[in-house]
Structure 1
Amino acid sequence: TAYSFTAQITIGDHDRGCSAALVDPEWVLTAASCFAAAPGAAVPAGVPRTGTSIVVGPPELSQSFLKDTRRQVVELVPRTDRDVVLARLSRPVTKVPPIGLASAGPAAGEELKFTGYGRTASEWAPLDLHTGVYGVGSADTTTAAVTGKAGVAACAGDAGGPVFREASGKATLVGLNGRSYQGGCFGTDPAETRTDGLVTRVDDLGAWVNSVVGAARITDFNGDGVEDVAIADPKAAVGGKDGAGLVRIVYGGGKGTTSVNQDLDWVPGGSEEGDWFGESIDTVDYNQDGYTDLVVGTPSEDLDKATDAGMVDVLYGATGGIGTGSVKDAHFEQDTGTGSIAGSAPETGDRMGQAVAAGTTVSGEPFLVIGVPGEAIGSVPKAGMAFYVRDSTSVGITTANVGITQDSSGVPGAVEANDAFGSSVAAYANHFAIGAPNEAIGTDAAAGNLAVFSHKLNSENRPTPLFGLDQDLDTVAGAAEAGDQFGKSLALVPYRPAGAAAATDSILAVGSPGEDLDV
């Protein structure tokens, strides 16, 4: 496993193969030319135009290891000054340590090691990682001329593979395999014996790699690498129906605008007066194909005789924008689908989807938090609940589809009439929060509280409750008073504590719209 940071890339249905170096749990460095439509053609940023899979770690390892490290490439960020591209994986690889970039470039006369999954002298498509040694002849600002030692050359399929320096048992990345004469490679003219090649330097790209890897993920419904915007307009009239609701989409880079509503034949339901389609929205790459998907809550949707029962849809992005792919939508309404959502019935005033939050966990699993503030819990009306849905893979194997109420183990507060638990939700990779703005604190009606959870599932297969907050706590400003509605709105972002390597904490903002202030 010494060189398990080496990755094997397969483009299309084995149309083309390359190698790569894992430089971050979610990113590999490889040759941009691997993705070019024609030799010398520029590689566009965004989702690869041809489906691309990747395996990180030597294929001679166990199949369970391969299952854990097989991913899709969902985003490309190319360089313009050399044959290099950063490729983002559909979810992090946690079992393989990335390789760091070298602090110095290749020097004439030194030896560097290279690895890859390309051809060998005897195999067209080998299954095992192979290695070789280069002698460096010369170097300029972006490339280095090298010669393979002992008659070993980089072969077809090795392009983009790591070229690295080893010292004290540690490998650091100097460059990527580029062009080669391929002397001695399977399928090469036997008269060609040259093992010379050209390596693309990456040792000076640390700042660029860090800026790309550390950048906030953009909303990109059409996968072109340019940020898009969704604007909810839930009270808009559609087809003369007031309050039917719609969501307006603005595609970045001057690629136009559109609107999404329930009168489109691929959007569930139909536009009706007072549906409020888009009352809540969020975004996430829910099916992990690289295109951002739009999560839409329609809390006033009538379902059969249940008025304002509500529902939620995940509308999938694609090359032409939202709704242009072969699969358009993942639909959520009570009494359909699987898990707790299927096990509950739509009732008048449930308002499923009044609040929605979406994201991916630290391990890369996409999730939804869906507020249902009007849900009756047993015989207690409008106590409220939230559904938590999490998928373990891009093919939709569900890890969790559970309901959370104030009767769930460890959740602060108690189920009471009109608490409206689930009126607000906020979520990110580390934590999520659910508000109950009508919760009584002592004798103060509608003072409000909230509960904070981690994504770790407990023995009930529910997210683990961590703590609750209300204004009677010493650590919270103000005091619980009737009508404060603490927790009516929530926002949450990740936070990296000083000295920490990653954003392990979160910052939570809480709205309390009914708070009285002395003037």
Structure 2
Amino acid sequence: MRTISDRRRRFRARAVAVAVLVGAGIAFANAATGAPAGPALAAALAGHSLPDTSALGRDPAPAPPPPAPSTPAPAPILPFNAKLTSDDIPVPGGGVRDGACSGSLVARQWVVTAGHCFHDLNENRIGGRPPYTMTVTIGRLKDSDPGGHTAVVVDVRQSPVNDLAVAKLSAPVDDIAPVQLASTRPSVGEELQFAGWGSHSATVLGPSDHLKRGHFRVSAIAGSTLEALPIGTRTVDNGPCPEDSGGPFFVSDDDDHTGRLVAIVNTGPPCPQAGPETIARVDVVAAWIRAQTG
């Protein structure tokens, strides 16, 4: 005769077996259907790890796009210098010719240059939109340099005082500090630097492929112009020649990273002959320049 204790032990054994079978069935059903696991399956898997199958059946993630190419920065030395060139200047009788000038960035969308760089068929200075394409390159020391900015002139304002003009660019320049404008009268003996893109000959014209540099000293002062003599021997690479018109005469206090514009190239002796350069004062038109470009 079985005792009550025997019957209880047999009942507990059958209950354990049923629980194991039920748990196995739940595990199979979850594997087949993808249904969330119940407590029995969670208990059965405690302490074990399974491979991550979350990505099965999905398309591979797209590769990240390549980094955008960086834009070369302007030259750090005299970045405000400007080269002006044109290949469609009308001439009397029909046809066109080339021409070039030099200049400086004086505001984010304006350069200053010589007034006679913009003229009609009779060489008279003109304002407004020029009748030919004038391309301006800013922020290079050589034509082959990367970086810098290129735009075209869309408007010209002629100085009422001297042979100087400001020219508006088709696009602003935001990563170059414009040259500052001298606001006080220069003094005789003051040393100035010169920079320009003009020719290397008085007779064979054509702009330089690199920025020319030189040093001068103020020798005389007139109402709207200065005279300046070279310091040392003048050459075609350190003094103004044709197509240097508008080139800056300036001073710099930080190793030529920025500058203060004192005058610009107007006229002078045929390069590289001796004699003073006649250059247009900036201080006498500084307020006018700010009014045009502000």
Give the shorter-chain TM-score range: 0.5 to 0.7
Note if contact 1:182-1:195 (Cα within 8 Å) is conserved in structure 2.
Answer: no
> 1:454 aligns to what?
none
69, 80, 83: which one aligns with 2:163: 83
Note if contact 1:116-1:129 (Cα within 8 Å) is conserved in structure 2.
Answer: yes
> 1:41 aligns to what?
124
> 2:194 aligns to what?
114
Moved more, 137-146 or 147-156: 147-156
* CA distance in structure 2 between the partners assigned to 1:137 and 1:38 by the alignment: 35
CA offsets 1:243-268 (integer angstroms, 9 cap, x no match): xxxxxxxxxxxxxxxxxxxxxxxxxx
Q: TM-score, with normalisation over the residues of structure 1?
A: 0.37
Report the alpha carbon displacement of residue 123 of structure 1 after superposing the two structures with TM. 9.0
Report the alpha carbon displacement of residue 141 of structure 1 after superposing the two structures with TM. 1.9
39, 52, 58: which one aligns with 2:134: 52
Note if contact 1:151-1:195 (Cα within 8 Å) is conserved in structure 2.
Answer: no
Give the secondary-structure state (helix, strand or coil) at the position aligned to 2:163.
coil
* CA distance in structure 2 between the partners assigned to 1:183 and 1:61 by the alignment: 22
CA offsets 1:291-333 (integer angstroms, 9 cap, x no match): xxxxxxxxxxxxxxxxxxxxxxxxxxxxxxxxxxxxxxxxxxx
Report whether the alignment pairs 1:197 with 2:277.
Answer: yes
How big is the alpha-carbon RMSD for the aligned residues of Structure 1 and Structure 2? 2.2
* CA distance in structure 2 between the partners assigned to 1:3 and 1:64 by the alignment: 15
Structure 1 residues 92-103: aligned runs within 5 Å: 92-103=172-183
Query: Which has the larger Rg?
Result: 2
How many residues were matched structurally?
203
Give the secondary-structure state (helix, strand or coil) at the position aligned to 2:259.
strand
Note if contact 2:129-2:154 (Cα within 8 Å) is conserved in structure 1.
Answer: yes
> 2:266 aligns to what?
178
* CA distance in structure 2 between the partners assigned to 1:64 and 1:183 by the alignment: 30
> 1:343 aligns to what?
none
Report whether the alignment pairs 1:158 with 2:262.
Answer: no
Note if contact 2:249-2:263 (Cα within 8 Å) is conserved in structure 1.
Answer: yes
Residues 40, 144 of structure 1: alpha-carbon distance in 2 compared, 3 angstrom cutoff: farther
* CA distance in structure 1 between the partners assigned to 2:116 and 2:269 by the alignment: 17
Note if contact 1:31-1:84 (Cα within 8 Å) is conserved in structure 2.
Answer: yes
Note if contact 2:83-2:138 (Cα within 8 Å) is conserved in structure 1.
Answer: yes
* CA distance in structure 2 between the partners assigned to 1:11 and 1:80 by the alignment: 25
Report the alpha carbon displacement of residue 62 of structure 1 after superposing the two structures with TM. 6.1
Higher relative contact order, structure no. (Cα contacts within 8 Å, ≥ 6 residues apart): 2
> 1:17 aligns to what?
100
Residues 151, 160 of structure 1: alpha-carbon distance in 2 compared, 3 angstrom cutoff: same
Note if contact 2:263-2:280 (Cα within 8 Å) is conserved in structure 1.
Answer: yes
* CA distance in structure 1 between the partners assigned to 2:190 and 2:131 by the alignment: 39
Residues 62, 94 of structure 1: alpha-carbon distance in 2 compared, 3 angstrom cutoff: farther
Report the alpha carbon displacement of residue 124 of structure 1 after superposing the two structures with TM. 4.7
Report the alpha carbon displacement of residue 61 of structure 1 after superposing the two structures with TM. 7.0
* CA distance in structure 1 between the partners assigned to 2:261 and 2:207 by the alignment: 25
209, 214, 225: which one aligns with 2:289: 209
CA offsets 1:99-136 (integer angstroms, 9 cap, x no match): 01023222111211110001236995321111111121
CA offsets 1:356-389 (integer angstroms, 9 cap, x no match): xxxxxxxxxxxxxxxxxxxxxxxxxxxxxxxxxx
Note if contact 2:86-2:100 (Cα within 8 Å) is conserved in structure 1.
Answer: yes
Give the secondary-structure state (helix, strand or coil) at the position aligned to 1:70.
strand
Residues 103, 79 of structure 1: alpha-carbon distance in 2 compared, 3 angstrom cutoff: closer
Give the secondary-structure state (helix, strand or coil) at the position aligned to 1:96.
coil
Give the secondary-structure state (helix, strand or coil) at the position aligned to 2:232.
helix
* CA distance in structure 2 between the partners assigned to 1:88 and 1:18 by the alignment: 15
* CA distance in structure 2 between the partners assigned to 1:195 and 1:151 by the alignment: 11
Report the alpha carbon displacement of residue 137 of structure 1 after superposing the two structures with TM. 0.9
Give the secondary-structure state (helix, strand or coil) at the position aligned to 1:54.
strand
Q: TM-score, with normalisation over the residues of structure 2?
A: 0.64
* CA distance in structure 1 between the partners assigned to 2:121 and 2:143 by the alignment: 34
* CA distance in structure 2 between the partners assigned to 1:51 and 1:142 by the alignment: 29
Note if contact 1:27-1:213 (Cα within 8 Å) is conserved in structure 2.
Answer: yes
Give the secondary-structure state (helix, strand or coil) at the position aligned to 2:200.
coil
* CA distance in structure 1 between the partners assigned to 2:123 and 2:206 by the alignment: 25
Give 1:56's aligned amino acid. Answer: I
> 2:209 aligns to what?
127
* CA distance in structure 1 between the partners assigned to 2:157 and 2:206 by the alignment: 30
* CA distance in structure 2 between the partners assigned to 1:81 and 1:124 by the alignment: 29
> 2:13 aligns to what?
none
Give the secondary-structure state (helix, strand or coil) at the position aligned to 2:292.
helix
Report the alpha carbon displacement of residue 89 of structure 1 after superposing the two structures with TM. 0.1
* CA distance in structure 1 between the partners assigned to 2:288 and 2:114 by the alignment: 16
Give the fraction of aligned pairs with identical amino acids, expressed as a percent. Answer: 28
Report the alpha carbon displacement of residue 172 of structure 1 after superposing the two structures with TM. 0.4
Residues 138, 89 of structure 1: alpha-carbon distance in 2 compared, 3 angstrom cutoff: same
> 1:312 aligns to what?
none
Report the alpha carbon displacement of residue 72 of structure 1 after superposing the two structures with TM. 0.5
Give 2:283's aligned amino acid. Answer: D
Note if contact 1:154-1:195 (Cα within 8 Å) is conserved in structure 2.
Answer: no
Structure 1 residues 275-354: aligned runs within 5 Å: none
Give the secondary-structure state (helix, strand or coil) at the position aligned to 2:284.
coil
- Structure 1's consecutive aligned runs of 4 or more residues displaced over 4 angstroms after TM superposition are 61-64, 121-124
Report the alpha carbon displacement of residue 165 of structure 1 after superposing the two structures with TM. 1.8
Q: Which has the higher strand share?
A: 1
Structure 1 residues 392-411: aligned runs within 5 Å: none
Note if contact 1:99-1:173 (Cα within 8 Å) is conserved in structure 2.
Answer: yes
Report whether the alignment pairs 1:144 with 2:223.
Answer: no
Give 1:21's aligned amino acid. Answer: S
Residues 124, 148 of structure 1: alpha-carbon distance in 2 compared, 3 angstrom cutoff: farther
Give 2:83's aligned amino acid. Answer: Q
> 1:270 aligns to what?
none
Q: Which has the higher helix share?
A: 2
